């Protein structure tokens, strides 16, 4: 049998490296025809500019100070010429002060009074009962009153760019969080109680935790997966084999547990920003294991963790050598059968691109497409938009230009900052002042097992898809020709999660605005990850589901929400039933590795999952 070529043995043409993946101008042009500033030959001194910006980016954690200064100056100048807003803020400050005085007086005289200011829904810093007693209750309320005033001060203002208002508010929240009374041992009743109870042992343990964390950060060391959550034994333990490998991905085929399976296989396309096993965690909450048990032949892509040598990997390479190559292999193993394709997060965005390109080119190998917490339009992409504008993207590009990839801390820091009160400050207090060790769970192990992103691919994604929103605008090209989401004719199943701050459900819902095919939209309880991990039997779960027939009129998300009542339970059986309705019947189960053209290379979960 001939050896399969790897990605580096079939490189992209030399000319492709100079071409943007997507079209720049609104008119229908090929990438080579589109005007681009990159066509100019850069002056030799330009490398000096990029090196200087890259050095600064390492110091700032990848955040552009120019973008921050622009936001502050825009806000300050517009507020300075708005006497009405200034009076409004004066009145709010006076109102907040009076509320605090009333609450303080009640506390001093031992009277009961409701707290005038409430923490945010994700703010767990004030859960200890000591925060209800003086003087801690007064300090807490003073902090929340200040936070409330700044929230009003950085709200929308006529003439002020919405992004700059949001960015200024975000920056002010970060600054205020650094001086929260909960961060200081003498200002936090929980820390004082723990110190008295343990004789100060918590502070000694916390200092050891701080030293350990500092060492790992300075050395840029990747913490190994704990033995209690060993990959392939506890996590990612669904039986299967790797049936194909190139330099970009491994394709895993899972071992059937039923005598018969649906004729159409399922291909899972995970995001490459994290490792695939979020969909194959512990046996009790593994979507892959559950789907195999429902009688499906399941394949899943496991992405390679890129390094400096992979700097020129493009988004097109992920489509061709990832999704399209996986379809080729599956068609060889299950000849004549169409495929149910399922994409999660960025994997879903890439799958939508691939499905639109296949529809345009008359490729009918897909039986259906499922998009889980995946966006195709990024105009309302949530709080991640705070980190993206031209200055910020150029700043990140210079950083990636110097090192060849975007590293783990530079990505995870942005996600943590969005929920800093819980993901940064509450954890710091627990770990460094209360002396509590991080208790790993299957989800937290996966969260910490991050990957890198190659420079070229991430730049194309940030610019073409996120910043310029070309997919839904009809300006995104594949193989030199524009794609259109409305060309997709196979049934769509789109899943949003209620509290998703990475892919807000209203943004995910907009898939219905840009497609005309038969579409089911499902909204489930939970966040970006927890909403997807919603196995049957999970307590407190519910979902809503609606059907949009082919060519039906569009309904806005709020109208859709009002018209669909929540149903108790997991959404997984609902999806499996939908898959069954798109399938053609049962066939004998397929043994992984039995096809001589695609023998078993090794047991699942393969090699790439272990790359650090």
Contacts of 566 (CB under 8 A, 6+ apart): 525, 542, 543, 544
Nearest Cα residue to 382 out of 525, 504, 245? 504
* Residue ranges with strand state E in 270-387: 298-303, 339-344, 366-372
Q: List Cα–Cα distances, 272 to 247, 248, 397, 456, in angstroms.
A: 14, 10, 18, 14
* Cα distance between residue 133 and residue 339, in whole Å: 61
Q: How far apart are CA 450 and CA 458, in angstroms?
A: 15
- Beta strand 492-497 with 366-372 is parallel
Q: How far apart are alpha carbons 492 and 513 in whole angstroms?
A: 13
* Total Cβ atoms within 10 A of residue 63: 20
Q: State the burial class of residue 603 (Cβ atoms within 10 Å of its Cβ: 0-12, 13-18, 19+).
A: middle
CB environment 442-458: b (16+ within 10 A), e (fewer): bbebbbbbbbbbbbbbb
Nearest to 306 by CA among 425, 211, 400, 177: 400
The secondary structure element, H or E, covering residue 317 is helix 315-318
φ, ψ of residue 257 in degrees (nearest 5): -120, 5
Give the Cβ contact number of residue 380 at 10 Å: 14
Quickly tell me which residue has 């996986």 as its tokens.
326
Question: In the numeric block, which tokens belong to residue 101?
Answer: 């005085």
Cis peptide preceding 512, ω within 30 of 0: no
Annotated active-site positions, please? 345
């Amino acid at each position: 049998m001939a050896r399969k070529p790897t990605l580096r043995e079939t490189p992209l043409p030399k000319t492709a490296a100079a071409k943007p993946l997507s079209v720049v101008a609104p008119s229908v042009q090929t990438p080579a025809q589109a005007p681009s500033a990159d066509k100019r030959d850069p002056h030799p001194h330009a490398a000096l500019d990029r090196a200087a910006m890259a050095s600064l980016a390492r110091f700032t954690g990848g955040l552009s100070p120019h973008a921050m200064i622009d936001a502050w100056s825009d806000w300050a100048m517009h507020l300075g010429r708005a006497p009405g807003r200034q009076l409004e803020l004066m009145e709010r400050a006076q109102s907040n002060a009076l509320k605090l005085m009333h609450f303080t007086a009640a506390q001093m005289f031992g009277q009961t009074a409701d707290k005038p200011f409430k923490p945010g829904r994700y703010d767990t810093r004030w859960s200890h009962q000591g925060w209800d007693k003086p003087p801690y209750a007064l300090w807490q309320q003073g902090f929340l009153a200040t936070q409330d005033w700044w929230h009003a001060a950085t709200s929308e203002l006529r003439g002020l760019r919405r992004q700059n208002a949001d960015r200024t508010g975000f920056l002010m929240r970060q600054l205020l969080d650094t001086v929260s009374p909960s961060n200081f041992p003498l200002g936090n009743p929980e820390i004082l109680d723990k110190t008295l109870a343990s004789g100060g042992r918590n502070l000694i343990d916390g200092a050891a935790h701080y030293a350990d964390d500092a060492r790992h950060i300075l050395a840029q060391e990747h913490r190994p997966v704990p033995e209690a959550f060993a990959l392939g034994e506890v996590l990612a333990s669904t039986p299967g084999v790797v049936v194909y490998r190139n330099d970009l991905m491994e394709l895993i085929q899972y071992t059937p547990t039923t005598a018969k399976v649906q004729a159409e296989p399922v291909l899972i396309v995970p995001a490459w920003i994290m490792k695939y096993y979020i969909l194959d965690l512990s046996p009790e909450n593994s979507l892959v294991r559950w789907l195999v048990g429902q009688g499906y032949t399941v394949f899943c892509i496991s992405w390679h963790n890129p390094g400096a040598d992979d700097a020129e990997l493009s988004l097109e390479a992920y489509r061709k050598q990832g999704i399209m190559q996986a379809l080729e292999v599956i068609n060889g193993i299950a000849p004549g059968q169409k495929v149910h394709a399922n994409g999660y997060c960025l994997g879903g965005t890439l799958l939508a691109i691939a499905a639109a390109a296949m529809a345009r080119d008359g490729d009918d190998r897909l039986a259906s497409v499922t998009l889980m917490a995946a966006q195709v339009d990024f105009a309302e992409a949530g709080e991640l938009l705070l980190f993206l504008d031209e200055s910020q993207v150029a700043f990140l590009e210079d950083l990636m230009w110097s090192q060849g990839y975007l590293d783990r801390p530079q990505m995870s820091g942005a996600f943590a900052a969005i929920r800093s009160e819980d993901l940064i400050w509450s954890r710091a207090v627990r770990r460094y002042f209360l002396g509590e060790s991080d208790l790993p769970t299957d989800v937290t192990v996966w969260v910490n097992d991050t990957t890198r992103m190659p420079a070229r691919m991430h730049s194309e994604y940030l610019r073409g898809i996120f910043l310029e929103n070309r997919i839904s605008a009809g300006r995104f090209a594949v193989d030199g020709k524009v794609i259109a989401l409305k060309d997709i004719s196979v049934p769509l199943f789109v899943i949003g999660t209620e509290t998703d701050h990475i892919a807000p459900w209203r943004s995910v819902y907009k898939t219905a605005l840009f497609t005309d095919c038969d579409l089911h939209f499902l909204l489930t309880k939970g966040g970006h990850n927890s909403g997807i991990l919603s196995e049957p039997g999970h307590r407190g779960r519910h979902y809503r589901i609606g059907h949009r027939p082919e060519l039906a009129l569009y309904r806005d998300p709020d109208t859709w929400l009002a018209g669909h009542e929540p149903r108790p339970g997991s959404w997984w059986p609902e999806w499996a039933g939908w898959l069954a309705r798109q399938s053609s019947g049962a066939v004998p189960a397929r043994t992984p590795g039995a096809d001589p053209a695609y023998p078993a290379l090794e047991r699942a979960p393969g090699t790439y999952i272990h790359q650090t």
